[in-house]
Structure 1
């Protein structure tokens, strides 16, 4: 069994050409050959039905993230839209994947952690284009609400078992007075273009500070974060690695009031670290990630990694081809 051969253009494809889109720019700027090598062949030896190659399926999933589409909606759009077909590598005569194929491929990325290799390869290419400057890393986290309802609270006097949530990996988390049942996405973004360099996904109960060390790459000149990230131990680790500590300080029982100098320092740091909110805004406003799509941590993690890849590729085009130049 061999992978299908796709993208063989016919005369009809030439007549159906449409205007160049931002996705065409991404397809041209990214070298897909290393990603093809990382993913390998999906078809095993022997006879049988041919499988879709991994690269077009990755491109399909990216299109789904950029447009906030479910798998059935993505199936329909790939079949009907010329720009989607062109980016994914399908000619007008190619049969496109259905939603179950897309689902199974996402599970492959999850099971074998291939999504991590794709993310690392994309970032390697972005660094080669000098888009990752390493002047500073901005760390932050955001809640993602679970799709499943939280466990049903027992009524007064109830003695039976509590009805569990359909999402067994989700947990309650709290920020201020607001509680969220679901997950938390933690990122470390490069200061220059907010390109995401590190991603951790946990249930919502994990505090921001616990995965923070994994978000700091070690090759940046400074680490920026809000008050949740500062600890004496982390300050010492940053100093040992020769990374400037730009984590905001907070009052405690021994020092209930910050001195004016620390307040000023916090305000200056806040202006820099505020840029890390941009990826989260894109995820929730444009990628439909206010509510996670799946009912387990592993698959939701894959979707978050795909979103980070999608965000970084769009950011690449924004940096290399500013909108004014694209209109010219």
Structure 2
């Protein structure tokens, strides 16, 4: 189907009068969106048929939905009403904006073409090229996200941790830059997959000092970190041979406390996702759609975090 043509010249002239640059303007200038649009080019590319909305405008709208925790209905209403949303997505002031079904169709296309991973990596690579990713070290951890429906989501799984209620859902395995907090890689699995088994899947290139919790503490994971050029900083396990050695136990506790103090910084990322970006539970059913939601959230988070890092560097 052919694409609609949208423009924002009139909106920009009116919106820029006496207006300070906001965070959406900073995000818009941070990324080469033409490169992102290149990955979206196959969507709605047929020359004939009903005119479709430009997929880049819809993708930007999905990011707005994450930042403001909006449903498709609320997103369509906000895009029709808010000048800053229109400008960020590229719509002029008086032209129509997409209805909620347009976002449903775009998500279906992103899942069918596995573009969630491609787009996340494309944005992250651009941030890396701009020096936002510091590469001083890597934090690795996982967080559980409840499923949309306990009865109807057949791809989600139950998981039970000691002292906590069982959860039916998925697990996001994340590797983040230790200093800047940018998410460098992630994978999404059913919730019953062991954290430690996923270290190799999320370990980025040049990981530096790698910090993780006790679930990742194994000889195999240490070897994998070293093979990637990193230095493992994993908690030590107490063993019976050390139980009577007070000095050895003190060293073990000091080491574990140091690792834990640094590793726990990744919890701020998960807290932001769940508290501010609506990732308390999955919006849609199925592993592929769960992965799309998590990667959209991570992409939106990285862009906001990158703006904060750029601001701090210029201050």
TM-score normalised by length of structure 2: 0.92
For 1:6 and 1:308, the matched residues in 2 are separated by: 28
The answer to whether structure 1 residue 269 and structure 2 residue 290 are counterparts is: no
Report how far residue 254 of structure 1 moved.
6.8
- 1:304-319 aligned at under 5 Å gives the runs 304-319=294-309
Q: d(CA) in 1 for partners of 2:45 and 2:32?
A: 26
For residues 26-50 of structure 1, give each alpha carbon's deviation from its aligned partner in whole angstroms, at most 9, with x where no partner exists.
Answer: 0011111111111115334343211
Aligned residues: 309
Query: 2:185 matched to 1:198?
Result: yes
Aligned pairs for 1:40-189 within 5 A: 40-148=41-149, 150=150, 165-178=151-164, 179-189=166-176
| C-alpha distance in structure 2 between counterparts of 1:43 and 1:230, whole Å | 47
How far off its partner does 1:9 sit?
Answer: 2.8
TM-score normalised by structure 1 residue count: 0.88
- Report the equivalent of 2:6: 6
Q: How does 1:204-219 map to 2 (within 5 A)?
A: 204-219=191-206
Q: Determine if contact 1:171/1:182 at 8 Å carries over to the other structure.
A: yes
Indicate how the Cα distance of structure 1 residues 248 and 55 shifts in structure 2: closer, same or farther if over 3 A, else same: same
- Answer yes or no: is the 8 Å Cα contact 2:8–2:93 preserved in 1: no
Does the CA-based 8 Å contact 2:205-2:228 persist in structure 1?
yes
Q: Distance in 1 between matches of 2:28 and 2:215?
A: 39
Q: CA RMSD in A?
A: 2.0
- Provide the secondary structure at the position in 2 that maps to 1:308: helix
Against the structure 1 CA distance between its residues 235 and 315, is the aligned structure 2 distance closer, same or farther, given a 3 Å change threshold? same
The alpha-carbon distance between structure 1 residues 52 and 267, as it changes in their structure 2 partners (threshold 3 A), is same
Distance 1:175 1:104, change over 3 A: same
| Partner Cα distance (1:207, 1:43) in 2 | 39
The Cα of 1:253 is off from its aligned counterpart by 6.7
Q: Normalized per residue, which structure has more helix? A: 2
Q: Could you tell which deviates more after superposition, 56-65 or 129-138?
A: 129-138
Question: What is the CA distance between 1:240 and its match in structure 2?
Answer: 3.4
- The change in CA–CA distance for 1:275 and 1:109 in structure 2 (over 3 A counts) is same
Q: Is the contact between residue 183 and residue 201 of structure 1 (CA under 8 Å) also seen in structure 2? A: yes
Q: Any unmatched runs of 5+ in structure 2?
A: none
Contact 2:36 2:119 in 1 (8 A): yes
- Give the Cα separation in 1 of the matches to 2:8 and 2:186: 37
Q: Give 3-state SS (helix, strand or coil) of 1:219's partner.
A: coil
- Secondary structure of the 2:143 match is strand
Residue aligned with 1:302, SS:
helix
Contact kept, 8 Å, 1:41 with 1:54, in 2: the verdict is no
**Cα distance change, pair 6–199 in 1 and its aligned pair in 2 (3 A):** same
**CA shift for structure 1 position 256:** 6.4
| Equivalent runs, 1:225-244 vs 2, <5 Å | 225-244=212-231
The match for 2:14 is 15
Corresponding residue number in structure 1 for 2:282: 292
Paired residue for 2:273?
A: 283
Would you say the 8 A contact 1:3–1:41 is kept in 2?
Answer: no
Distance in 1 between residues matched to 2:183 and 2:219, nearest whole Å: 26
How far is the alpha carbon of 1:19 from its aligned partner? 4.3
- Structure 1: stretches of 5+ with no match in the other structure: 151-164
Quick check: 1:66–1:286 contact (8 Å CA) kept in 2? Answer: yes
Question: Separation in 1 of the partners of 2:301 and 2:249?
Answer: 39
Q: Which residue of 2 aligns with 1:24?
A: 25
Contact 2:207–2:228 (CA<8 Å) still a contact in 1?
no
8 A contact 1:42–1:51 mirrored in 2: no
